[in-house]
Amino acid sequence: MATPSERWQRRARQTRRKINCGWCLQVCATPVVGVALGLLGPALWARRVWPEAAPPGLAWVTGAALAVIVPGSWWLARRRFVTAGDALVRLEAQLGLHNRLSTAAAGVCPWPPLPDRADDGIRWSFSNTFLPLLAAAALLAAAMWVPVKARMLPAAPDEPAAWAATEDDLRELARQDAVAPESLDETQQRIAELRAQAAGKWFSHASLEATDKLRESHLQAMAELQRQLRMAAQSATRLAGDAAGELPAPTRAGLQDQFKQAVQGMQAGGMKPNKELLEQLRNIDPKQLRQLDKAQMEQLMQGMKDKAEALGKCLCRKAGDGQQQEGEAVLTESSDGPGKGGVDRGPGTTPEMFGEPANEVAAAQPQVLDSGDLTRALPGDVLDVTDSKHEVEMTSPALRTSGKADVQGGGGSTWQESLHPREQESVKKFFE
């Protein structure tokens, strides 16, 4: 059973806690509202820029701010804190005890009994306590949940498609081990140099020109290597197949030269084949090809075939992808056509193009029809175009009109005698 002293002291501690809590709330109200206000703008901006990362980040920042503000407020409010003795004074003043509690605490008189309802008379001020906190919470909620349009970040500009296509080729060739790595490195290096320019210059005239040259030379090198591989394979096959020596000597010599030229071309070309294959081809004497056993021959042929196929694959891809010009690709990407964009999308602009629209119907130009079915040709269709000299009659024509022949007479009598009356009238008018 607690004594009156203990009961009063406990009651005083409750009052003290309430007052000290009030001080803490008063001190922290301003910074809390300030932080909430300060966070509002950056939070909305962050949600616009980083829609996914902003809410957790805001929660962390808010938590960190509270972790600083609350202890800081306690520290600042500490000097205003009341003691249990102060709380006792408030209680005795509120309860009209004529300072009996202070007197009892001094040991002058006994403690009075604690009434059933010892109200300290201290009430929370809603406007001063909860309004700032509610305002801060509302601001933070607004920062967290007010709908914000996520900013469309500028996409990294697409690089010229030729770079990617060339790099795909290089990767494919490297994967197939079809070409000597040194041959690929040079091209790769040039692409890297082009890419090292400022992104805004990737599609400059000079850059596109360099890109086209690079792509062209790359394709040419691949085509050349493929051609030489095929040529070497073809001549080697025929030479190897002539085990019985049935080929006439000039033909054989021609095939041997062809093989040799192909190997030399591979060695001197911009794109060299696999080093192992090249070494193997170089060590083969075309005259001795007939003496290679079947397995060796098959291995050699398979090697050349694989490399040629790899090159062909890259070249085929070029044939499919190369239809679209660089400029058109860029324009297509950058145009705001329908079906793209977000809620503010519009009808979009018409696709841009370089130059005048092409005249689809070239009616004035004769074209050759592929169809060989001449029975279905229509009148006016050009059935054939030949390239030949015109047949010119070298002899002087002798004009004879109405039974008169005047080869030497000049044109004077011609227009008078051979023209129709209306024509004659026109000529006459001209010379007047």
Partner 1 sequence: MTHSLPTDAEIAAGSAKVRALLEAMNEVLYGQEDLIEAVVTGLLARGHLLLEGLPGLGKTELVKGLSGAIGMQTKRVQFTPDLLPGDITGNPVLQEVDGRRSFVFQPGPLFASLVLADEINRASPKTQSALLEAMQEGHVTVLGETHPLPQPFFVLATQNPIELEGTYPLPEAQLDRFLFKLDVRRGDSATLQKIVLNREIGRPPVVAQVMTAAELSGLIDLARRLFLPEVVANFIARLVDATHPGQSKASAQVRYGASPRAALALAAAAKARALIGGRPNASFEDVKAVALPVLRHRILLDYQARVEGRTSTDVVLALLAEVPTSAADLPRTLHTAPLAATHG
245 DSSP β-pair partners = none
Q: Does 135 bind partner 1 (CB under 8 A)?
A: no
Neighbours of 311 (CB within 10 A): 27
Can you give the C-alpha Rg of the chain in angstroms? 49
Q: Which is nearer to partner 1, 23 or 203 (CB)?
A: 23
H helices of 322-374, in order, are 326-334
Are the C-beta atoms of residues 2 and 8 closer than 8 Å to each other?
no
Q: Which is nearer to partner 1, 80 or 404 (CB)?
A: 80
Neighbours of 250 (CB within 10 A): 8
Q: Which is nearer to partner 1, 98 or 282 (CB)?
A: 98
Closest CA to 58 of 28, 49, 73, 30: 49
**Residue 336: enclosing H or E segment and its boundaries?**
none
Q: Does 122 bind partner 1 (CB under 8 A)?
A: yes
**Distance separating alpha carbons of residues 379 and 158, to the nearest angstrom:** 50
DSSP state of 159: P
Count interface residues toward partner 1 (CB under 8 A): 37
Are the C-beta atoms of residues 195 and 159 closer than 8 Å to each other?
yes
Q: Does 290 bind partner 1 (CB under 8 A)?
A: no
Q: Dmax over Cα atoms in the chain, in whole Å?
A: 169
Q: Using the rule CB under 8 A, which residue among 5, 14, 103, 418 binds partner 1? A: 103
Q: Using the rule CB under 8 A, which residue among 53, 59, 109, 405 binds partner 1? A: 109
Q: Using the rule CB under 8 A, which residue among 79, 123, 294, 340 binds partner 1? A: 123
User: Residue with structure tokens 């169809």?
Assistant: 371
Q: Using the rule CB under 8 A, which residue among 58, 65, 95, 225 binds partner 1? A: 95
DSSP 3-state of 115: coil
Q: Does 29 bind partner 1 (CB under 8 A)?
A: yes
Per CB under 8 A, the segment of 83-91, 315-323, 343-351, 358-366 that binds partner 1 is 83-91
Q: Using the rule CB under 8 A, which residue among 65, 69, 97, 289 binds partner 1? A: 97
Q: Using the rule CB under 8 A, which residue among 8, 12, 23, 161 binds partner 1? A: 23
Q: Using the rule CB under 8 A, which residue among 112, 269, 312, 327 binds partner 1? A: 112
Are the C-beta atoms of residues 300 and 213 closer than 8 Å to each other?
no
Per CB under 8 A, the segment of 89-97, 237-245, 334-342, 379-387 that binds partner 1 is 89-97
Q: Does 17 bind partner 1 (CB under 8 A)?
A: no
Q: Does 79 bind partner 1 (CB under 8 A)?
A: no
Q: Which is nearer to partner 1, 18 or 290 (CB)?
A: 18
Per CB under 8 A, the segment of 93-101, 200-208, 291-299, 341-349 that binds partner 1 is 93-101
Q: Does 18 bind partner 1 (CB under 8 A)?
A: yes
Q: How far from 148 is each of 39, 54, 131, 239, 283, CA to CA, in Å?
A: 15, 12, 26, 76, 72
CB of residue 97 to partner 1, shortest distance in Å: 6
Q: Using the rule CB under 8 A, which residue among 128, 189, 267, 302 binds partner 1? A: 128
Per CB under 8 A, the segment of 87-95, 152-160, 357-365, 371-379 that binds partner 1 is 87-95
**Residue 135: enclosing H or E segment and its boundaries?**
helix 126-145
Q: How far from 290 is each of 262, 282, 283, 355, CA to CA, in Å?
A: 18, 16, 14, 59
**CA torsion, points 98, 104, 106, 108, in degrees to nearest 10?**
90
| Binding interface with partner 1 (CB under 8 A) | 18-19, 22-23, 25-26, 29, 80, 82-83, 85-86, 89-90, 93-100, 102-103, 106, 108-109, 112, 115, 119, 121-125, 128-129
